[in-house]
Structure 1
Amino acid sequence: MIAAQIPLYQTKAEFFRLLAHPVRIRVLELLQEGPRPVRDLLAAIEVEPSSLSQQLAVLRRAGIVTSTREGSTVVYELAGVEVAELLRAARRILVELLAGQEDLLVQLRGSEFTMGRAS
């Protein structure tokens, strides 16, 4: 029996779903700065330890982060630079999108002002 190949677009969608959790995104943002022990991640994210542990396990199983034990401390880091590059690209896209919304908001406010004077 031949195994059916998953279409690339579906694989990409699964990857983005994997990232689609606020705690996971925050962990990845923090790990862009370098390896961090779990206690530092907990302090920065302010979630329950069990919730952070669950999200770190998802990222680790996907191969996006790696963990090492240093004594009783577990330290996490990005498995590669590609995810950090993706997060930087997402930030640039969001800046552009939000800048466009700000321009629209300014235009709308300006038209309200103009309309208010005309009446």
Structure 2
Amino acid sequence: MSTPLYQLKAEFFKTLGHPIRIRVLELLSQREHAVAELLPEIGVEPAHLSQQLAVLRRAKLVAARREGTTVYYSLTSPQVADLLKVARSILSGVLAGQAELLEDLRASPRAAS
């Protein structure tokens, strides 16, 4: 029996559910990067970055290529960058709504406690 699509989607979003992995994908959305370029941008130990890159590779979201001793990473699909843009747009809307609510709360007279 095959895995239901909703379960596969949940696993996909779990893969995205780590700040370092999101940051890596954001950087790779701009262009291919060598691991040495990613390290100072992300600010973690090399072993930790390697673990996160391995998760992204297993999920087939990034691909690695070796040139001499340098390993370069890139997105496997431009749709990953599109997904990050959509997420940013959704969050912008949510945060704008929260800012409006906060302003409304500040503007309303204080209720007696």
TM-score range, shorter chain: over 0.9
User: What is the one-letter code of the residue matched to 2:85?
Assistant: R
Structure 1 stretches of 4+ with a deviation exceeding 2 A read none
In structure 1, which of residues 92, 103, 106 is the aligned counterpart of residue 103 of structure 2?
A: 106
**Considering only CA atoms, is the larger Rg found in Structure 1 or Structure 2?**
1
Q: How many residues align?
A: 111
Is residue 51 of structure 1 aligned with residue 48 of structure 2? yes
Q: 1:23-81 CA distances to partner (integer Å, 9 max, x unpaired)?
A: 10000000011000001100100001000000001111111000111111100000011
What is the aligned-residue identity percentage?
Answer: 57
TM-score norm. by structure 2 comes to 0.95
Q: CA RMSD in A?
A: 1.0
5 Å matches for 1:67-86?
67-86=64-83
SS in 1 for 2:30: coil
Q: CA deviation at 1:115?
A: 3.6
Unaligned runs of at least 5 residues, structure 2: none
TM-score norm. by structure 1 comes to 0.90
Unaligned runs of at least 5 residues, structure 1: none
In the alignment, the residues of structure 2 paired with residue 115 and residue 42 of structure 1 have an alpha-carbon distance, to the nearest angstrom, of 49
Task: Name the structure 2 match of 1:91.
Answer: 88
